[in-house]
């Protein structure tokens, strides 16, 4: 699959509700992914003025827009400081391709069986 336009794509398995992915396609080489402590490093950013945007899966658009800010990178500022994210919400379960809930797993049976 080719993601040739910037944006967010949600990918779901139509058989297993727990199998999903989110692909964030960006039109910039300047991005970072947080580690387990919530630290983000964006290497090799040239000095200049940039728009900083944050994204996380359970965020509502209003919260993401409120976190967007203009920043200036120069050699005297090695860090941008702390960006506080609102408490994450809970995503509602997605439906299958027919718009129905997935059937509950049968106790004692494997979740996935090779055909």
Helices (H), the chain: 61-67
- Which whole-number Å values give the CA distances from 103 to 7, 46, 95, 106, 113, in the listed order? 31, 51, 10, 9, 15
Q: Has this prediction a pTM greater than 0.75?
A: no
What does the mean pLDDT of the chain come to? 81
pLDDT-derived band at 62 (thresholds 50, 70, 90) equals: confident
Query: Distance (Å, rounded) from C-alpha 7 to C-alpha 33?
Result: 16
Least confident of 47-51, 67-71, 95-99: 95-99
């Amino acid at each position: 699959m080719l993601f040739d336009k910037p944006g967010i794509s949600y990918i779901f398995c139509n058989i297993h509700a727990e199998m999903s992915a989110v692909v964030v396609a960006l039109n910039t080489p300047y991005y970072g992914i947080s580690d387990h402590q919530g630290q983000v490093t964006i290497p090799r950013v040239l000095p200049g003025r940039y728009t900083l945007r944050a994204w996380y899966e359970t965020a509502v658009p209003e919260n993401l827009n409120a976190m967007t800010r203009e920043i200036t990178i120069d050699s005297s500022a090695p860090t941008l400081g702390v960006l506080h994210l609102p408490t994450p919400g809970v995503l509602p379960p997605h439906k299958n391709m027919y718009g129905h809930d997935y059937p509950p797993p049968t106790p004692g049976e494997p979740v996935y069986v090779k055909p």
